[in-house]
């Protein structure tokens, strides 16, 4: 994502979302938990939210309503409400035009649907019609005369003609087709679109198009992408929309909306602290078997992928077998991983020193497994385990110093070495109390010159359960 787009994002005061395959997966109804986070964070920042959908307001599922968007642009812009149900704009299709459309559809043998502001009906019920519409509106009634009792804002075709379907000239002067399914098109006023509906909201609020960002995936988002300040296409979007997009994000299942807004700096990146909830953390479990007992360590490949890969590969290759902890300082740490036993050797699987991987989610708290180094980006094979159990700082002091509150609490209550954060790559954490007991036993051994144990503390082997 380029800097210019991030700069434009600073002007955004409202975000609109399509529903199907943008906020939720149309075929399964799946909505990622991250969507709740997005709406909450935007609300806290004073950024308005809206739905911009081809669906009618009666087709907005409860899970989307629960997000409490500020506006609903529905039926491809033909009907617009605010969160309190007040009508902001509406575009009714004249009855004579509806009747002309029905006459054409019946003459052509095409099934149709009629859509009001808060209900809809079908001309008939067939397998083809059900296949197209039930995933969006599962229980529509059959009532070809629905228009006689309801204003019509949009219509549907149901057929197998595909993109080649054309309205007759007298209808095409006033209506247009927007394909949304292999067997169905929306029939909307020729001047109507999601863009026109969003424009009504923009004018209502006294904003400008450059103040609006939109997420979408389909052909009915084309005009909207032309209108707004920033258009972001989902990962499975129609190729025509992707060409218009300012940015193409990931899919719904991959938390594409959250990822894009994080990149734009519009929401805070979701940060987890696996060391604070180790029981829920995922990752390989390494067991460092020593002549004093076992040290079980949960590794964090998501936060430090290259470092973890290096450690696992060296361990599985037997590189650490028989290597000593060559430097032990009680109330600080135990250090090993150098086959020469001097603190001057060791090589990574990459054949050279490799770069640091500092994660905002990992810290040098007591029990942390970190890489030893000789300065920035000089990682090899050496590592250390933080043993210090006491710090002269309170959680409040550490928080004021910039450490996240959950980590500050751990530092204050359990100890660690905060001065090593952002200097050494953390990539694992002791996994059980028995391991901490072994860590403290090792830290208490007698040492001599250069903090080397008088009697060798030996890594017999390191086993890794992926």
H helix runs in 387-463, sequence order = 395-400, 405-414, 433-443
Q: Evaluate if residue 32 carries a pLDDT over 80.
A: yes
Per the annotation, the verdict on 82 as an active-site residue is: no
Element (H, E) at 3: helix 3-9
Residue 235: Cβ within 10 Å count:
16
Q: Evaluate if residue 270 carries a pLDDT over 80.
A: no
Tokens 């029990």 belong to residue: 367
pLDDT band at 52 (very low <50, low <70, confident <90, very high): very high
pLDDT band at 271 (very low <50, low <70, confident <90, very high): confident
| pLDDT tens digit sequence for 91-109 | 999 999 999 999 999 999 9
- Tell me, which fold does domain 274-465 have in CATH? Cyclophilin (2.40.100)
> DSSP class of residue 420?
G
Which strands make up the sheet holding 120-122, listed edge to edge? 141-142, 120-122, 111-115, 154-158, 184-189, 175-181
Residue 236: which of 213, 217, 263, 212 has the closest Cα?
217
Q: Answer for the pair 358, 385: CB distance below 8 angstroms, yes or no.
A: no
Q: Evaluate if residue 51 carries a pLDDT over 90.
A: yes
| pLDDT tens digit sequence for 66-95 | 999 999 999 999 999 999 999 999 999 999
Provide the pLDDT for residue 268. Answer: 83
Instruction: Say how far apart CA 178 and CA 78 lie, in whole Å.
Output: 14
pTM of the model: 0.63
Strands 14-17 and 48-52: parallel
Which strands make up the sheet holding 48-52, listed edge to edge? 87-90, 79-82, 71-74, 48-52, 14-17, 212-216, 230-233, 247-248
pLDDT band at 192 (very low <50, low <70, confident <90, very high): confident
Residue 83: which of 97, 66, 63 has the closest Cα?
66
Residue 82: which of 187, 205, 211, 172 has the closest Cα?
205
Q: Evaluate if residue 272 carries a pLDDT over 90.
A: no
How much of the chain, in percent, has pLDDT values that exceed 90? 93
Residues 6+ apart with CB under 8 A from 428: 286, 297, 298, 299, 300, 308, 311, 368, 369
| pLDDT tens digit sequence for 362-419 | 999 999 999 999 999 999 999 999 999 999 999 999 999 999 999 999 999 999 999 9
Q: Evaluate if residue 446 carries a pLDDT over 90.
A: yes
pLDDT band at 263 (very low <50, low <70, confident <90, very high): very high
Q: Evaluate if residue 269 carries a pLDDT over 80.
A: no
Provide the pLDDT for residue 30. Answer: 94
Active-site annotation holder among 2, 18, 20, 317: 18
Provide the pLDDT for residue 247. Answer: 97
Q: Evaluate if residue 16 carries a pLDDT over 80.
A: yes
Provide the pLDDT for residue 1. Answer: 75
Instruction: Say how far apart CA 19 and CA 55 lie, in whole Å.
Output: 8
Instruction: Say how far apart CA 44 and CA 24 lie, in whole Å.
Output: 23
Residue 110: Cβ within 10 Å count:
19
Q: Evaluate if residue 19 carries a pLDDT over 80.
A: yes
Provide the pLDDT for residue 163. Answer: 87
Residues 6+ apart with CB under 8 A from 277: none
Residues 6+ apart with CB under 8 A from 107: none
Strands 154-158 and 184-189: antiparallel
Instruction: Say how far apart CA 54 and CA 218 lie, in whole Å.
Output: 10
pLDDT band at 119 (very low <50, low <70, confident <90, very high): very high
Q: Answer for the pair 14, 207: CB distance below 8 angstroms, yes or no.
A: yes
SS (H, E, C) 70-130: CEEEEHHHCEEEECCCCEEEECCECHHHHHHHHHHHHHHCCEEEEECCCCEEECCCCHHHH
pLDDT band at 191 (very low <50, low <70, confident <90, very high): confident
pLDDT band at 249 (very low <50, low <70, confident <90, very high): very high
Q: Evaluate if residue 277 carries a pLDDT over 90.
A: yes
Across 247-391, the runs of DSSP E, i.e. the strands, are 247-248, 285-290, 293-299, 323-324, 327-329, 333-336, 368-371, 383-386
Instruction: State the average pLDDT for the chain.
Output: 95
How much of the chain, in percent, has pLDDT values that exceed 70? 100
Provide the pLDDT for residue 262. Answer: 93
CATH of domain 95-189: 3.30.1240.10
Q: Which CATH architecture has domain 3-87+193-264?
A: 3-Layer(aba) Sandwich (3.40)
Query: What radius of gyration, in Å, describes the C-alpha atoms of the chain?
Result: 31
pLDDT band at 162 (very low <50, low <70, confident <90, very high): confident
pLDDT band at 223 (very low <50, low <70, confident <90, very high): very high
Tokens of 334: 């135990």
Query: What residues does each domain of the chain span?
Result: 3-87+193-264, 95-189, 274-465
Tokens of 444: 């208490």
Q: How far is CA 57 from the centre of its chain?
A: 26
Residue 266: Cβ within 10 Å count:
20
pLDDT band at 2 (very low <50, low <70, confident <90, very high): confident
Ranges 136-140, 155-159, 428-432, 451-455: which has the least confidence: 136-140
Residue 464: which of 281, 348, 326, 297 has the closest Cα?
297
């Amino acid at each position: 994502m380029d800097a210019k787009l991030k700069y434009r994002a600073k002007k955004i005061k409202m975000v609109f979302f399509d529903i199907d395959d943008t906020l939720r997966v149309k075929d399964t109804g799946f909505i990622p938990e991250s969507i709740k986070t997005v709406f909450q964070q935007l609300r806290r920042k004073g950024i308005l939210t809206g739905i911009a959908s081809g669906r009618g307001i009666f087709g907005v599922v409860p899970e989307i309503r629960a997000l409490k968007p500020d506006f609903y642009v529905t039926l491809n812009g033909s009907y617009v409400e605010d969160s309190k149900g007040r009508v902001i704009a509406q575009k009714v299709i004249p009855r004579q035009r509806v009747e002309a459309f029905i006459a054409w559809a019946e003459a052509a043998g095409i099934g149709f649907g009629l859509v009001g502001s808060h209900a809809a009906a079908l001309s008939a019920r067939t397998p083809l019609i059900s296949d197209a519409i039930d995933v969006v509106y599962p229980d529509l009634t059959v009532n070809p005369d629905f228009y006689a009792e309801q204003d019509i804002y949009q219509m549907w075709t149901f057929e197998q003609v595909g993109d080649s379907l054309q309205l007759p000239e007298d209808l095409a002067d006033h209506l247009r087709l927007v394909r949304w399914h292999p067997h169905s098109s929306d029939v909307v006023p020729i001047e109507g679109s999601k863009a026109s509906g969003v424009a009504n909201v923009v004018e209502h609020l006294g904003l400008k198009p450059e103040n609006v960002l939109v997420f979408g995936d389909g052909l009915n988002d084309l005009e909207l992408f032309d209108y707004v300040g920033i258009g972001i296409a989902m990962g499975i979007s129609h190729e025509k929309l992707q060409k218009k997009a300012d940015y193409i994000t990931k899919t719904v299942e991959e938390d594409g909306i959250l990822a894009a807004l994080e990149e734009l700096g519009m929401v805070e990146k979701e940060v987890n602290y696996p060391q604070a909830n180790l029981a829920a953390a995922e990752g390989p479990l390494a067991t460092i078997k020593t002549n004093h007992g076992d040290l079980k360590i949960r590794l964090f490949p998501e936060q430090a992928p290259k470092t973890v890969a290096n450690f696992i590969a060296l361990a599985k290759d037997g590189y650490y077998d028989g290597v000593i902890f060559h430097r032990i300082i009680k109330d600080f740490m135990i250090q090993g991983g150098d086959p020469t036993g001097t603190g001057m050797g060791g090589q990574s699987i990459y054949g050279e020193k490799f770069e640091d991987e500092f994660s905002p989610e990992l810290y040098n708290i007591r029990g942390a497994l970190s890489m030893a180094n000789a300065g920035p980006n000089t990682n090899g094979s050496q590592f250390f385990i933080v043993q210090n159990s006491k710090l002269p700082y309170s959680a409040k002091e550490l928080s004021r110093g910039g450490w996240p509150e959950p980590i500050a609490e751990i530092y204050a209550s359990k100890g660690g070495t905060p001065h090593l954060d952002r200097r050494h790559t953390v990539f694992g954490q002791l996994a059980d109390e028995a391991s901490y007991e072994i860590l403290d036993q090792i830290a208490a051994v007698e040492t001599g010159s250069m903090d080397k144990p008088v009697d060798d503390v030996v890594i017999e082997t390191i086993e890794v359960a992926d």
